Structure 1
Amino acid sequence: MVRRAKVSGMTPDCSIIVRTPAEAVAFTPYVLGFHPSDSLVVLGLSGKVVVVGVRYDLPPPAAAFDEVAQVIAHQGAPEVMVLGYGKPRLVTPAVLGLVGALAPVGVRVREALRVTDGRWWSYSCSDETCCPAEGTPCRSDLAAEAVYRGMVALPDRKALVARVASATGAIRRDMAAATERARSRFTDLTGADVEAGRGGQLIRKAGRQAIREAERVARGGGMPSHDGIAWLGVLLVRPVVLDYALARSGPDDWRLRLWGEVVRLVEPEYAPGPACLLAFAAWRSGDGALARVAVDRALKQEPTHRMAAVLDRLLGLGIGPQALVDLRAPVRSGQGRRGTDGRRARRGARRRSL
């Protein structure tokens, strides 16, 4: 399967300007959030501004080029730069195959490059005065500019995956104990709900309270306790609680910190819910690479998870955060979402459904 690491909807204060092949090579890791290897990368350009970045693993299946070209065309960027990272035997057929697939869908390729062992070569230029046969060294001074602007590129994709991996050691033992307490608490709550004939209202109320409290703590710079995180994990198994958290989600840094920490600390079986919340917040912020690994974490744990599947499809289609899609489960006829529609209208945040 071709994996995509997509970055879109970059905000004006972090816009990347690419005028030359050297700049494209230097800035691509900061568009993706990590240094790519054995990868095919496409930078979508509007003028000189990078408006989208898409990454695929190498080698892709031969049939994937048409699919990739359609996804790129969907972004609406007038032209692109195509960069292949790795050995020539992997990169050259992939770059040339994609370039050939882009022309029929109306996407102009400004430049096609190979990056190998700290040097780059152009497939578009044969003039040795500017593109020597031995390649051109990658420029560290251009990368330093991105760092100065506060942009980050992790060493590789494995480092990004590690950000959503389960914590180990003493923390894991503490969380295992906290999770047992949370499970017992949830069992008691479910029993009370059934006994009172509340139809799940007590669980919905507890879920909303837990989400709001976690947000309050994280917004102030802190993190919930281990018991609080375990309680969140257990509650987020319920779709009604996950939907509530998604409806409140946004691109805030503190949300990324919150759900990133919850994903790491919850027992693995409870990771899909917070992983989806991390993915959605990352997608909203334009960090498609983090969104991708978070969705992968959710699907690895639970391949049939409804929300993870929706987010996987959203990322795969290259839909940008400007779409502001409503990812919640549809409500059956005659049932409303109590208290949410009015608040959303007052905020003026109308969301389109997929």
Structure 2
Amino acid sequence: MTDDLSAPPTLTAHCPDDLLAMVPLVIGFTPEDSVVMLTFAARRAFHARVDLPPPERPDLLDDLSDALLEPAERHGVRLVAFVVHTEDADLARRAAAVLVAAFTGSGIEVIDALHADGLRWRPAVGQRAGLPADGVPYDVSEHRFAAQAVVAGRVVHGTRAELARSVAADPERVAAVSLALEEPPVGPVARGDWRAVAVWVRGTIAHHIEHRTVPSDAEAASILLAITTVRVRDAAWHLMLDAPVDQHVELWTDLVRRAPAALLAAPASLLGVAAWLAGHGALAWCAVDRCREHHPDYSLARLVEDALQQAMPPETMSGGWHWEDGLDASA
């Protein structure tokens, strides 16, 4: 699993403690059994997390390195730092050695490589004079970056599993929306007037974005039903280009948690787009995963997945089309 190949918040690191404190803020959760790559001096900075292979599969470390090196080369990264999160010191050293060799061999300077076990950090490659033999204690919760994140409203989850639970189905709310879906459609949906449907969907979403509210069960049911039509879905997507994206993340998170499985593909994919645009790559992956649980071949989820894997900048989806394109009565 590769997470958060996306734009990071702006933070400046001067020491190992700063690097360690950056990780959960730019990834969105505290990693376990992972390598995190922090990039600097690039055409477009991005950060990434990759699962460590099992200790008995060191042959997979080259694949891990390739998964990080390819986007780093494509985006002109000149400086990187690695933090290997694991309790297995031997695996951390082996992973760091492979990464440092691959990146320096490609002309990318590795400014630091740390092993963090959750309580202490130590160099993952070589020795460093003056450090305790058992590592240096650290606590990222007390770091100034954590305070900045609180002020900025950036949520950090304890683990990736906790982050995934934040977009999991809420059975009671799914049942309420399912009940609302039993009512026959009315208005433009009943008439098949898809342009009018798109206007209503956009207006309803814009209203809730402006007022920081969530749709009623009836509204949620109508939105979820309407965006099964691709052009209506894309009209909702287009709204993200003109409004605070974090508020779209909140709205689509709410709708994903309320969506019946049969209607999950479109809202989960739209959450993936919103999270990607907002720089929340790990959340975008969780949204893609939710879509793939029930709709593994949904094209927009695949588009988000490709964007994340290739560290594509969000501005690649920032224009060139209008929400009314292709929206006629037959949509």
Q: TM-score scaled by structure 2?
A: 0.85
Change (3 A) 1:296 1:327: farther
For 2:178, the equivalent position in structure 1 comes to 176
Is the 8 Å Cα contact of residues 272 and 285 (structure 2) preserved in structure 1? yes
Change (3 A) 1:315 1:223: same
Q: How does 1:30-179 map to 2 (within 5 A)?
A: 30-46=25-41, 51-59=45-53, 61=60, 62-86=62-86, 87-129=88-130, 131-140=131-140, 143-150=143-150, 151-169=154-172, 171-179=173-181
For 2:228, the equivalent position in structure 1 comes to 237
For 1:226, the equivalent position in structure 2 comes to 217
Distance 1:323 1:51 in 2: 15
* 1:140 Cα offset (Å): 4.2
2:18 to 14, 19, 23: 23
* 1:299 Cα offset (Å): 2.0
Q: TM-score scaled by structure 1?
A: 0.80
AA partner of residue 161 (structure 1): A
AA partner of residue 23 (structure 1): D
Q: Secondary structure at the match of 1:54?
A: strand
Is the 8 Å Cα contact of residues 85 and 118 (structure 2) preserved in structure 1? no
Distance 1:174 1:324 in 2: 34
Counterpart check, 1:310 vs 2:303: yes
Distance 2:246 2:148 in 1: 19
Higher relative contact order (CA 8 A, sep 6+): 2
Is the 8 Å Cα contact of residues 8 and 26 (structure 2) preserved in structure 1? no
Distance 2:67 2:45 in 1: 20
Change (3 A) 1:179 1:89: farther
Alignment coverage as a number of residue pairs: 315
| Residues 58-83 of structure 1, C-alpha deviations (whole Å, 9 max, x = no match) | 21834342232111222333201011
For 1:185, the equivalent position in structure 2 comes to 185
Structure 1 gaps, min length 5:
194-201, 330-334, 340-354
Is the 8 Å Cα contact of residues 73 and 106 (structure 1) preserved in structure 2? no
Q: Secondary structure at the match of 2:45?
A: strand
AA partner of residue 48 (structure 2): V
* 1:314 Cα offset (Å): 0.7
* RMSD of Structure 2 on Structure 1 (CA): 2.8
AA partner of residue 253 (structure 2): G
* 1:149 Cα offset (Å): 4.4
1:247 to 209, 231, 238: 238
Q: Secondary structure at the match of 2:14?
A: coil
Q: Secondary structure at the match of 1:17?
A: coil
For 2:57, the equivalent position in structure 1 comes to none
AA partner of residue 79 (structure 1): L
Distance 1:309 1:26 in 2: 31
1:268 to 237, 253, 261: 261
Q: Secondary structure at the match of 1:185?
A: coil
AA partner of residue 136 (structure 2): T
* 1:253 Cα offset (Å): 2.6
Distance 1:256 1:27 in 2: 22
* 1:102 Cα offset (Å): 1.5
Distance 2:220 2:269 in 1: 15
| Residues 8-40 of structure 1, C-alpha deviations (whole Å, 9 max, x = no match) | 153xxxx21111112101221111111111111
Counterpart check, 1:7 vs 2:6: yes
Change (3 A) 1:127 1:92: closer
Is the 8 Å Cα contact of residues 3 and 27 (structure 2) preserved in structure 1? no
Change (3 A) 1:141 1:228: closer
- Percent identity, please: 24
Is the 8 Å Cα contact of residues 39 and 77 (structure 2) preserved in structure 1? yes
Change (3 A) 1:217 1:22: closer
